[in-house]
Amino acid sequence: MTRMDIGKLLDLTGKVAILTGAASGMGRETARYFGAAGAAVIVADRDEAPAEAVAAELRDAGGKALAVRVDIADEASVIALMERTVADFGGLDILVNNAAIQDRAMLEDTTVEFWDRILAVNLRGPFLCLREAARIMRAQGRGGAIVNVASTSAVHPVMLGLTSYASAKAGVTALTRNAALEFAAAGIRVNAVLPGGVMTEGGMKSVGTTPSGRAIQLPPIGRIGQPQDIAGLILFLVGPAAGYITGQLFISDGGFMLG
C-alpha cells in the first residue's frame, strides 16, 4: 500500500485567508493554525494593536500575515478589507466570520439601540463579509471556503441575558445554509461552527446562569472549551479534508446540550 500523506488533508499552502475578530480568543488561535498550515493570513479586527501583534507572531514564524483594521458592521470598511486583501495577496480563498460582541441584557431591558448594535455586528457583519468574499471567489473561478462562527445559543437557550446575541447567531445559521445553496455551483463551501462555552476573553464575560436559574456547569466531557478546540474544527472545514461538506452546522460544546 502506498503511504498516504495525511498532512495534505489540512494543508493550506498557497491559500489566502481572512479571519475577522482574529486579534484574540478563537480568532487568534485559528490564525495561528492557518499560518502553521501554510496560508497567508489577514488578521482583521477593530483593535489594531493586538491584531498587529498576532500578524507579527505569524510573520516571525515564517508565514505571511497582514493586520487590517475593520468594522464589520460598516459596508465601506468591509469592502476596503476585501480590496486590501486582493491588492496585497492577489486573491482570496478562505473567510472565517468570527468577530462578534457578546453584551448581555435581559429582554425587558433591551433597548432598540442595544438590539440594533448586537445585530449590526453579529449578523450584518457576517453577511457583508460573506457577500463580498463570495463575489471575489466567484470571479476567481477556483471556489473557496467560508466558515461562520455562530453559537450553541442559536439553537438552544444557554443562559439568561443573551436573547439579542442568540437571535443574531440564529440568523448566522440561516445565512450559512442559504449561502451554501446559492454558492455551491461556484465551488464555494459555506459551513458554520457553533461553539459552546469557550475560555476566551469574550466568553468569560458572558458567564452567568441558565434560563432555569442554575449556574452554568461543566459539560459532560468534563472541562471548559479552549480556543484550540474551535480552531482545529475550523481548520478542518476550510481544508481539503472537508471538500464535500457544505451547508452544515457543527456543534462543539463538549456535550453540553446532551444534558
What are the boundaries of each domain within the chain?
A: 6-251
* CB burial of residue 6 (10 Å; 0-12, 13-18, 19+): exposed
In the set 33, 34, 89, 165, the catalytic residue is 165
Q: How many residues does this entry show for the chain?
A: 259
Given this model, what pLDDT does residue 158 score? 87
Mean of all residue pLDDT scores within the chain:
94
Longest dimension (CA), the chain: 64
What is the pLDDT averaged over residues 214-236?
88
Whole-prediction pTM: 0.93
Given this model, what pLDDT does residue 206 score? 52
* CB burial of residue 26 (10 Å; 0-12, 13-18, 19+): buried
6-251 CATH: 3.40.50.720
Tens of pLDDT, residue by residue over 160-204, are 999 999 999 999 999 999 999 999 999 999 999 999 998 876 655
What is the pLDDT averaged over residues 138-163?
96
Given this model, what pLDDT does residue 26 score? 96
Checking if the pLDDT of 20 tops 90, the result is yes
Cell numbers describing residue 113: 439601540
* CB burial of residue 107 (10 Å; 0-12, 13-18, 19+): exposed
* 33 flagged as catalytic: no
